[in-house]
Chain A
Amino acid sequence: DQQVKQNSPSLSVQEGRISILNCDYTNSMFDYFLWYKKYPAEGPTFLISISSIKDKNEDGRFTVFLNKSAKHLSLHIVPSQPGDSAVYFCAASAWGNQFYFGTGTSLTVIP
């Protein structure tokens, strides 16, 4: 059973606007969450992470929000740029052992 879910397979956003990518999880033991970006023919690359002791982490244009009670996290990209077009995976881990990945959301930023 999928422990990390990304229910939106795709998202299109105009350049300059906000992109919001969502992720839900079922395992309350998860204590570390990450977002990865993947371009075609490349491996995923780390984007941003958040520990369960926080509810927000910001890095430049990227902000991750964590709502533990709802078991939900989101990635905000502001402003969105055409180079942000990629597949985004969220991942979660308990005690840093196995990482469980979502199915990915394909983001297209329209110039």
Chain B
Amino acid sequence: DADVTQTPRNRITKTGKRIMLECSQTKGHDRMYWYRQDPGLGLRLIYYSFDVKDINKGEISDGYSVSRQAQAKFSLSLESAIPNQTALYFCATSDQLAGGSYNEQFFGPGTRLTVL
């Protein structure tokens, strides 16, 4: 079973609709992230959370909100979807190593969102 899962994998919605993308992980990591990927722009950070009570805005948080329901679950919401939010969305997790050093991120398979 995948360590980081995302649902749905594909979604087509209309402008103005509310949509939620969900992410679950079984890695036991405290840190979770939401990114979007656009052609020519790479991956850009939307929100990140270092534990259940910690939520932080990333580079491009406008138009998005998140909820960290549990250590293993991190949801991304688009309150009123617009066409330029059409993108590939990735959830990721990571763990901070002892001594404050860093570790890599583990990514989910992605959700392809189309806003018409």
Listed in ascending order, the chain A residues whose CB lies under 8 Å from chain B are 4, 6, 9, 32, 34, 36, 41-46, 49, 51, 89, 91, 93, 96-104
Interface locus among B11-19, B68-76, B78-86, B105-113: B105-113
How many B residues touch A, CB cutoff 8 Å? 25
Contact A99 B105 (CB under 8 A): yes
User: Given the complex of chains A and B, what is the CA–CA distance between A43 and B108 in angstroms?
Assistant: 5
A87 to chain B, nearest CB (A): 10
Could you say which residues of chain B place their CB within 8 Å of the CB of A103?
40-42
Q: Is the CB of B42 within 8 A of A43?
A: no
Nearest chain B CB to A54's CB is how many angstroms away? Answer: 13
**Residues of B at under 8 Å CB distance from A?**
4, 33, 35, 40-45, 48, 58-59, 90, 92, 96, 100-102, 104-110
With both beta carbons as reference points, the residue of chain B lying nearest to A47 in the complex is identified as B104
Smallest CB gap from A93: residue in B: B102
B100 to A41, Cβ gap below 8 A?
A: no
Cα(A6)–Cα(B104), bound, Å: 20
Contacts A89-B43, A101-B42 given; indicate if A43 touches B109 (C-beta within 8 A).
yes
Contact partner, B42, options A34, A41, A102, Cβ 8 Å: A102
Residues of A within 8 A of B101 (CB): 51, 96
* Complex alpha-carbon distance, A93 and B96, angstroms: 13
With A98-B58, A99-B105 in contact, is A43–B90 under 8 Å at CB? yes
